[in-house]
Amino acid sequence: MTVNGETKSVSIDPRTSLLDALREYMGLTGSKKGCDHGQCGACTVLVDGRRINSCLTFAVMYQGQKVTTIEGLANGDQLHAVQQAFVKHDGFQCGYCTPGQICSAVAMLAEAKAGCASAVTADLAAANVTLTDEEIRERMSGNLCRCGAYPGIVEAIRSLAEA
């Protein structure tokens, strides 16, 4: 598979989760194992631009696909716009959930731009979704923060949506 722009080849048990393959076999420890049940979102990564919980899926399912982890978002020393916004708006406290939050936010912004509706979208026929605080909270509801950094997370995402 391609991980963060590099072709990776590992020999693993077919039952190995994508999260464990990334962390244990590829040394990419940014994605975290929070609950290992798909309930917290700390393990969120992007597969071909779509967000997934990497703890719930087998790595072998992603042969030939592009996986992006938190480590792959920055361009060298230049942080991704979402990473910059999280820093600017204090969108984290302990930082454990932050990689998953950021990966999820990257995909969520793309989903909204593409006109994908959420459970709280008022106009389902709209070509463009306005990311209100309610929309952002709903779309990020699969990513939990035990520290309660939600105000900063919402503010960071809103700043990007407005830009």
Structure-token match 């080849």, residue found: 9
Q: What is the pLDDT of residues 111-162, one digit of tens each?
A: 999 889 999 998 887 777 889 999 999 999 999 999 999 999 999 999 999 8
Confidence of residue 41 (pLDDT cuts 50, 70, 90): very high
Residues 24, 26, 30, 31, CA torsion sign: negative
pLDDT score for 115: 87
Q: What is the pLDDT of residues 70-96, one digit of tens each?
A: 999 999 999 999 999 999 999 999 999
Q: Which of 19, 22, 21, 24 lies closest to 35 in space, CA to CA?
A: 19
CB 124 within 8 A of CB 117: yes
Domains and CATH numbers, the chain: 2-72 (3.10.20.30), 81-162 (1.10.150.120)
